[in-house]
Amino acid sequence: MFNIRPTEQPVFAFGSEDSGLSSLAMALSMLGYRCCSDFKDLPATEMHRLLGRKENRVFNAYVNIGSLDNKVKELINRYPKAKFILTMPKGTVMDYTIHNMKNKLDGTDLVVLPADKSNKWQLICEHLRCAPPRCPFPELKDIGQRPIIYETTESNKVFNSKHSKHDNSPWVIEYKNWWQGINTILTEGKYEYYGKRIEITESFEFLDTKRWQTRSDTFTDNLALFRPSNVKLSSDGALLSVKKESLGVRDYTAASICSKDQFLYGKFEASIKASNVSGVVTGFFLHRNSPRQEIDIEIAGNRPNVLLVNVFFNPGMENSNFDYGYRGTPINIDLGFDASEESHQYTIEWNPNEIQWFVDGKLVHRRVIWNPTPIPHLPMTLHFNNWVTLSIQLAGRINNRNLPTVSIVKQVKIKASVIISKLEDNESMENISKKVITQIN
């Protein structure tokens, strides 16, 4: 778990357009701050707590919040020990806006951060009295100030749902009755969509090896070893089998298919018939490491009438070594039917401002920014699998007499930005495993 908690707070950052404010916000997150950034305003509940100097504020860092520009004097009076940061665009002299803000901040604990400085970590960490992470300073395109939509969403109440225990992390907000996250709209041209937009329809009658690969590895909480031979393809789709089969490193075998390419934002659909064997989990999810981010759909064999949706979030950019968390932020949703009796359509819609989950075309859950995590922002691999869990709490105890068991995946549809895989055709599955899934101890 990430146990570092900042001692210098709150932090307020201001600056002009294209001066690196979004990069600064990510950097503060990597230092363990819970950072609200790039909005025209704060949610009313948070603004009330901030200006009232309440102890139960959601955030301890505020970057590029438009409505705070004219409250600087008030913030200085209420938080005399606050840390201030002022960003400046590359290769420019101080314009009127920056000069005016610098005058407002005169006498405060302030650092000026030019966008073209090469030692940003040093400047920030000396200012905040903390150690820098062992990875490069994040460089993002500035998002700008997004408008907040002030409306109460009832989408999470479409189906009965129940929160489970979640990770204790700077990037997870404790569930509160008065906090519903930050609802905003997509701003055209402010997000980096890498690669090209594609549409894929996959029946899994055969394996298109340019798009998909079967796995032969495992991960820490999986009692089974993924084997390509446990994947059978036919006109019925991909049959993923779990068997009692000791191979030395594990006592069970299971099945996993994943995409060779990664995707950034989009719509992901699959028709799935889950296993109903206790101890077995059927999964449909997006995942990445370094930093670890994940968007899940899982069905536990001992409760096939319940859909588990989950999000893991860690801050950083490609190859940032932030892989914390083992619970994520799970929610159990009552489906109202047994997902093992027949196939149903499951959908994940992911964009920079929200994630939505659908079952048979009906919205069953929605998460906006900071409800309770930020939205994953980096490319991820798409996975389908079933496996035997070590956790009895997750799916019950495995019963060998009910094995083998099968989960079926068919009619996969993808509309997303694709990031073409850099894997060579002759790269071993062992090397792929090192990049994506935790190796066997």
Per residue in 131-175, pLDDT tens? Answer: 999 999 999 999 999 999 986 554 445 567 778 778 889 999 998
Same domain, 207 and 260: yes
> Residues 257-266, buried b or exposed e (16+ Cβ, 10 A)?
bbbbbbbbbb
In a domain, 259, yes or no: yes
Domain that holds residue 91: 11-128
Same domain, 167 and 88: no
The neighbour count for residue 171, using CB atoms within 10 Å, is 25
pLDDT one-digit tens code per residue, 289-338 = 999 999 999 999 999 999 999 999 999 999 999 999 888 999 999 999 99
In eight-state DSSP terms, residue 253 is E
**Tens-of-pLDDT digits for all 441 residues of the chain?**
577 889 999 999 999 989 999 999 999 999 999 999 999 999 999 999 999 988 899 999 999 999 999 999 999 999 999 999 999 998 766 677 788 999 999 999 999 999 999 999 999 999 999 999 999 999 999 999 999 998 655 444 556 777 877 888 999 999 888 899 999 987 665 555 556 889 999 999 999 999 999 999 999 999 999 999 999 999 999 999 999 999 889 999 999 999 999 999 999 999 999 999 999 999 999 999 999 999 999 999 999 999 999 999 999 999 999 999 888 999 999 999 999 999 999 999 999 999 999 999 999 999 999 999 999 999 999 999 999 999 999 999 999 999 999 999 999 999 999 986 644 333 333 333 333 333 222
> Residues 101-122, buried b or exposed e (16+ Cβ, 10 A)?
bbebbeebebebbbbeeeebbe
In a domain, 5, yes or no: no
What are the backbone dihedrals phi and psi of residue 274, each rounded to the nearest 5 degrees, phi first? -85, 160
In a domain, 143, yes or no: no
- How far are the Cα atoms of 115, 311, 403 from residue 274, in angstroms, in the given order? 50, 20, 14
In a domain, 369, yes or no: yes
Sequence length of the chain is 441
Same domain, 109 and 212: no
Question: Checking DSSP bridges between strand 362-368 and strand 161-163, what pairing results, if any?
Answer: unpaired
User: In the prediction, which pLDDT does 156 show?
Assistant: 47
Q: Which of 76, 110, 128 is the endpoint of a domain?
A: 128
Alpha-carbon distance of 241 to 140, in angstroms, equals 42
Question: Checking DSSP bridges between strand 224-226 and strand 362-368, what pairing results, if any?
Answer: unpaired
Same domain, 90 and 226: no
Alpha-carbon distance of 43 to 64, in angstroms, equals 14
Alpha-carbon distance of 22 to 39, in angstroms, equals 11
Q: Kindly report the CATH number assigned to the domain that includes residue 90.
A: 3.40.50
User: In the prediction, which pLDDT does 190 show?
Assistant: 52
Same domain, 332 and 432: yes
User: In the prediction, which pLDDT does 158 show?
Assistant: 52
- What six digits make up the tokens of 379? 């490319």
Q: Kindly report the CATH number assigned to the domain that includes residue 278.
A: 2.60.120.200
pTM to 2 decimals? 0.91
In a domain, 136, yes or no: no
Same domain, 322 and 411: yes
Question: Checking DSSP bridges between strand 331-334 and strand 212-214, what pairing results, if any?
Answer: unpaired
Number of domains the chain contains:
2
In a domain, 145, yes or no: no
Same domain, 119 and 240: no
Same domain, 57 and 98: yes
In a domain, 353, yes or no: yes
In a domain, 392, yes or no: yes
- What six digits make up the tokens of 386? 């079933």
Same domain, 185 and 78: no
Same domain, 85 and 173: no
